[in-house]
């Protein structure tokens, strides 16, 4: 039984057409290599526009994946709030996010991918989340870690947190014993490690990012997962693929699947159940990220400039 995990494809026909190409290539490669169930942990789209949602639905449907037995999805912050994509958006986004209709966008997410929730058992009082879904020997616990906008706790819509409805729902799962005899897996969007710059000491900007891209009360959440017998947590948000440990819990970040990871190749995580045990690994495909025409032009310009004409010191790259 093989579960494949990826995250943050950020599909957008307007802004990231190269992501569409990378996502399609990655999905075809995954299906060719064998996949019993695919889990995508948020930021399927980048703008939260319905057109991009329908585009994501079209791609998944064309590959036969719009089926609860084959696919599990949970929302990310871009699926609800969108995000700034141009330099001019950076200044206007903090004001724009206040007007986002959180409930409407969450409902849109659930409606567009409705087939993937067919056999999910909801444990929320008023929401689909949290839910539990049986997938072979696993119980997949789907969480919505994207809280509504808050000036003090979520000013840019990028922080994560599990609300009281989630905490009560997870406790109810434990009391009902619905996870007994299975291997519980948590699927949510936000990460449980510290946000750090790729290189060098933290700057004022990376410190701002660290405080606006974090999972709040993450230790409390991990303790609760432990009481449920959860050994594996799948997430995204920080754009890189990595496997790491928090006590007895193995966490898999799949957000570098199609973009932004320092290793610029398509990749995905997988959990393979065989003979009563689970093997976890990251697969790196020999296929580079698809580049936009702008990025290709920038790269060509960089390597076509003669070094002798550069005002930079000889030991500094252009």
| CB atoms near residue 49 (< 10 Å) | 16
Mean residue pLDDT across the chain: 87
pLDDT tier, 213 (very low <50, low <70, confident <90, very high otherwise): confident
Is 315 domain-assigned?
no
* 308 has pLDDT over 70: no
| CB atoms near residue 31 (< 10 Å) | 15
Percent of the chain surpassing pLDDT 70? 84
- Predicted pLDDT of residue 214: 84
State how far the Cα of 75 lies from the Cα of 146, in Å rounded to an integer: 7
49, 11 contact by CB (below 8 A): no
CA 282 to chain CA centroid, Å, is: 15
Q: What CA–CA distances, in Å, run from 167 to 53, 153, 162, 225?
A: 29, 18, 7, 10
- Predicted pLDDT of residue 301: 39
pLDDT tier, 87 (very low <50, low <70, confident <90, very high otherwise): low
Structural domain tally of the chain?
Answer: 1
| Per-residue 3-state assignment (H helix, E strand, C coil) for the chain | CEEEEECCCCEECCCEHHHHHHHHHHHHHHHHHCCCEEEEECCCECCCCHHHHHHHHHHHHHCCCCCCCCEEEECCHHHHHCCCCCCCHHHHHHHHHHHCCHHHHHHHHHHHCHHHHCCCEECCCCCCCCEEEEECCEEEEECCCCCCCECCCECCCCCECCCHHHHHHHHHHHHHCCCCCCEEEEECCCCCCCCCCCCCCCCHHHHHHHHHCCECCHHHHHHHHHHCCCCEEEECCCCCEEEEEECCEEEEEECCCCCCCCCCEEEEEEEEEECCEEEEEEEEEEEECCCCHHHHHHHHHHHHCCHHHCCCCCCCCC
Contacts 24+ apart (CB under 8 A), 150-154: 153/216
Q: For residues 87-93, give the mean pLDDT.
A: 70
Place of tokens 């997962």: 225
- Predicted pLDDT of residue 95: 84
- Predicted pLDDT of residue 230: 96
State how far the Cα of 251 lies from the Cα of 242, in Å rounded to an integer: 8
Is 294 domain-assigned?
yes
- Predicted pLDDT of residue 195: 66
pLDDT tier, 296 (very low <50, low <70, confident <90, very high otherwise): very low
pLDDT tier, 293 (very low <50, low <70, confident <90, very high otherwise): low
Is 317 domain-assigned?
no
| pTM, rounded to two decimals | 0.89
Is 31 domain-assigned?
yes
Is 150 domain-assigned?
yes
Beta pairing, strands 265-274 & 277-288: antiparallel
Query: What range does the domain containing 157 cover?
Result: 2-309
Is 300 domain-assigned?
yes
pLDDT higher at 130 or 306: 130
* 210 has pLDDT over 70: no
For residue 191, the domain's CATH number is 3.60.21.10
* 316 has pLDDT over 60: no
Is 314 domain-assigned?
no
pLDDT tens for each residue of 258-269: 999 999 999 999
* 187 has pLDDT over 90: yes
Is 316 domain-assigned?
no
Residue 130, preceding peptide bond in cis (omega within 30° of 0)? yes
pLDDT higher at 298 or 65: 65
pLDDT tier, 246 (very low <50, low <70, confident <90, very high otherwise): very high
Q: Which two tokens stand for residue 11?
A: 């599909």
């Amino acid at each position: 039984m093989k579960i494949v995990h990826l995250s943050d494809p950020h599909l957008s026909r307007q802004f990231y057409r190269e992501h569409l190409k990378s996502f399609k290539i990655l999905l075809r490669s995954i299906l060719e290599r064998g996949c019993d169930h695919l889990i995508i942990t948020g930021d399927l789209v980048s703008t939260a526009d319905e057109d991009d949602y329908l585009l994501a639905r079209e791609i998944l449907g064309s590959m036969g994946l719009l089926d609860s037995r084959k696919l599990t999805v949970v929302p990310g912050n871009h699926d609800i709030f969108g995000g700034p994509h141009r330099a001019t958006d950076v200044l206007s986004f903090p004001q724009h996010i206040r007007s986002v209709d959180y409930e409407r966008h969450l409902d849109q997410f659930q409606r567009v991918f409705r087939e993937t929730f067919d056999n999910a058992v909801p444990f929320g009082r008023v929401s689909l989340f949290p839910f539990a879904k049986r997938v072979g020997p696993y119980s997949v616990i789907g969480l919505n870690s994207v809280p509504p906008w808050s000036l003090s706790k979520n000013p840019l819509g990028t922080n994560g947190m599990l609300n009281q409805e989630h905490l009560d729902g997870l406790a109810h799962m434990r009391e009902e014993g619905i996870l007994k005899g299975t291997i519980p897996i948590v699927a949510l969007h936000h990460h449980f490690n510290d946000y750090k710059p790729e290189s060098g000491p933290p700057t004022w900007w990376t410190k701002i990012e660290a405080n606006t891209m974090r999972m709040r009360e993450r230790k409390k959440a991990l303790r609760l997962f432990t009481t449920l017998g959860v050994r594996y947590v799948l997430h995204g948000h920080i754009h890189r693929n990595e496997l790491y440990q928090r006590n007895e819990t193995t966490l898999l970040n799949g957000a570098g699947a199609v973009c932004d990871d320092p290793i610029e190749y398509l990749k995905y995580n997988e959990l393979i159940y065989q003979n009563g045990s689970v093997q976890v690994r990251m697969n790196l495909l020999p296929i580079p990220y698809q580049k936009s025409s702008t990025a290709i032009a920038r790269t060509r310009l960089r390597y076509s400039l003669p070094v002798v004409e550069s005002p930079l010191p000889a030991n500094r790259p252009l």
